[in-house]
Structure 1
Amino acid sequence: MQRRAVAVYVALFLLVASVAGVLVVTGESPEVAFDNPDHELSEGDSFTVEGDEYTLTAITVEEDDELGEIITGQIERERTAEQSETWANGSIVEVDDREWNVRIDDADSFALVEEQDFEALLAEDPNADNETVDRDGEEFVVVTDEDGDTRLVSPDEYFPAPEERSYDVGDELAYNDVTVTVDSVTSDEVTVVWMGPETLTIGVEQESMVTIGDTEFMAHFPDASTLTLSTDIDSYDAQIAQIEQFDQYGDGLWRVVIISVLSAMVLVGMAFMPSRY
């Protein structure tokens, strides 16, 4: 009689374990999905936010030993923005395909002094030696006249005076194919500014908040080739809550399976223990 009762309880526990196991195996975990996202994009697609155009330039998939598949994306926007460059006092800059020395004169102005190629100037003159000579610690250019006589000419007398261009704060000049404006002058450096193209880059990670302009989006990659952007943050939070609840139910069912099987095993073992009476 005792063993019959044990058999009934064992069958009951195994039935409970089977039902719980079936529910765990057949249950489908909910996934994040937006029915009507603000933007559904593939690589190369452009979209508009607050009147500005952005482009999804890349979707990258990487494999991680612990995390598995990691999907990231990159959004870019081409815009016009102020750019700047600083020239140190005494530095060399290239303007009009020529090199110039930056010479700061005072707090509001500076000059570009032409850098002369003395070797090239000497090479162009058939009546001058290609190199200067040193006499008693002074440098001279050796020049031959029509009669074949040579004479020594000081560099200041032989070479033409370098060209100088003076600029004040607010002046404009052509530089690197753009027009730049002298923004500030200090005793150490000159700053020029101009408006030019600039690329704004925004990195996107799976299920992360992304700020584009002044708008916040929830980013989601439903697959390795698609990015959805949604402003419905409440929907995302609700779906995450459902997923967490499903996981909790799954953990609970697994505990039911384990406890039921162990209970059945204990009852079977007790049923076959020899009685002292």
Structure 2
Amino acid sequence: MQRRAAAIYVVFFVLVAAVAFSLTTVAQEPSVSVDGQNYSQGDTISAAGTEWTVNVNDGEGNLSTVNESARFTASIANNSSLLFVNGEYRPAPNGSGGGAGTGTGSPSPSTTGTPGTIGTSVSTGEGANNDSATRFRVVIANATPSNGSAGNASGNATNVTSFTLRQQFETSARLREDPSVADVPLTGENGTQYVRYRNGSTQPLDEYLPEPEVRNVSVGDSFPYKNNSTTVESVNTSGATLAWEGRLTRSQDFEEGSNVTLGGTTYVAQFPTNSTVTLSQNVSGYQAEQAAVTQFNNRILGLWGVVIISLFAAILIVALAYMPVRG
């Protein structure tokens, strides 16, 4: 009687598993298909006066556009340091008075991105160990506005139109290279630094060092900065602004289901094939169809759970029915 009841339960669970499995085989997954324009590798899209190039490869891609005359700016702070090497200025290494030449790409009229190869190939501090590099300190006089006030809230003064580049010397290196003096300068009671000669005599450090080179730069002057044809755009008491034109490349990556914005319009990307992308404005429709696919897959997983649990229950009942009984 015990084994007969077990056989009935086994048949029941096997039947449940079979029905669940048959449902998984006949169920059809809903498709995701929205109306839109199809694009292949190398196609172009024009949006709000900007032409984008489509790049598609293996089910993903990007849109790219190039502005050959984008506008960029950089700032150099008062009292910061610059290196002059190979006929151009570069920011000095970190820790040497820094703050010089922080680039801020600002293409016209209103685009975003990062500068291209023009003007950005030189890294900060390059040339610091070059014997031909000359270090200059940016000096901007605290000019007084013509109306006698102390300047506006931002620190700008109306009559500041230029700044000075004053040569700086690597004092420690210069002393080490001179065998007639000690490697380290002395500091007097009044704070004045002295050079001590090997014969015991001393000389003020300012008198020992050569006369520093001084260069004056005004608004509108050409300023060779980091391999750019740069112009000094403005000067105030806190620093100077440099401006130049260069190449700006922008790109937007996309994959299946990701959004792309062109000219203020949002599109959703779908890949009918690995080498073709469809851009559709029906973003909400795509999301609804994608949600239906997700729900379908969840139900299929539930049916597979029923198959596995039912078969496991049938095997367990058979095992229990044939266990030996004591007595």
TM-score by length of 1: 0.55
Unaligned 5+ segments in structure 2 are 90-133, 144-159, 168-200, 204-209
Deviation at residue 193 of structure 1 after TM alignment: 1.7
- 1:198-217 alignment, distance < 5 Å: 198-217=248-267
Instruction: Determine the structure 2 residue equivalent to 1:81.
Output: 70
Higher Cα radius of gyration: 1
Cα distance change of structure 1 residues 103 and 29 upon mapping to structure 2, 3 Å threshold: same
Aligned pair partner of 1:240 in 290, 296, 306: 290
Deviation at residue 83 of structure 1 after TM alignment: 0.8
Cα distance change of structure 1 residues 243 and 166 upon mapping to structure 2, 3 Å threshold: closer
More displaced stretch, 248-257 vs 258-267: 258-267
Deviation at residue 208 of structure 1 after TM alignment: 2.2
More displaced stretch, 175-184 vs 262-271: 262-271
Deviation at residue 86 of structure 1 after TM alignment: 2.6
Instruction: Determine the structure 2 residue equivalent to 1:173.
Output: 222
- What amino acid does structure 1 have at the position aligned with 2:29? S
Aligned positions, number: 221
Superposed CA RMSD: 4.9
CA contact (8 A) 2:24 2:300 kept: yes
Percent identical pairs in the alignment equals 33
Instruction: Determine the structure 1 residue equivalent to 2:47.
Output: 49
TM-score by length of 2: 0.49
Tell me the distance in 1 between the aligned counterparts of 2:88 and 2:309: 86
Instruction: Determine the structure 1 residue equivalent to 2:129.
Output: none
2:241 matches 1:191 = yes
CA contact (8 A) 1:41 1:228 kept: no
- 1:33-112 alignment, distance < 5 Å: 33-34=33-34, 36-42=35-41, 44-57=42-55, 59=57, 72-79=60-67, 80-88=69-77, 89=79, 91-92=81-82, 97=87, 103-105=139-141, 107=143, 108-111=160-163
More displaced stretch, 47-56 vs 176-185: 176-185
Instruction: Determine the structure 2 residue equivalent to 1:220.
Output: 270
CA contact (8 A) 2:139 2:166 kept: no
Q: Which has the higher helix share?
A: 1
CA contact (8 A) 1:95 1:174 kept: no
CA contact (8 A) 2:39 2:54 kept: no
CA contact (8 A) 1:49 1:213 kept: yes
Instruction: Determine the structure 2 residue equivalent to 1:29.
Output: 29
Deviation at residue 243 of structure 1 after TM alignment: 0.8
Deviation at residue 233 of structure 1 after TM alignment: 1.1
Deviation at residue 256 of structure 1 after TM alignment: 4.1
Instruction: Determine the structure 1 residue equivalent to 2:17.
Output: 17
CA contact (8 A) 1:38 1:231 kept: no
Deviation at residue 167 of structure 1 after TM alignment: 1.7
Tell me the distance in 2 between the aligned counterparts of 1:77 and 1:210: 14
Deviation at residue 204 of structure 1 after TM alignment: 2.6
In structure 1, the residue corresponding to 2:32 is in which secondary structure? coil
Tell me the distance in 1 between the aligned counterparts of 2:295 and 2:235: 61
1:186-205 deviation line (CA, Å, top 9, x unaligned): 25x32112343322232334
Cα distance change of structure 1 residues 90 and 242 upon mapping to structure 2, 3 Å threshold: closer
1:84-142 deviation line (CA, Å, top 9, x unaligned): 12335575576995779655345512256798xxxxxxxxxxxxxxxxxxxx999xxxx
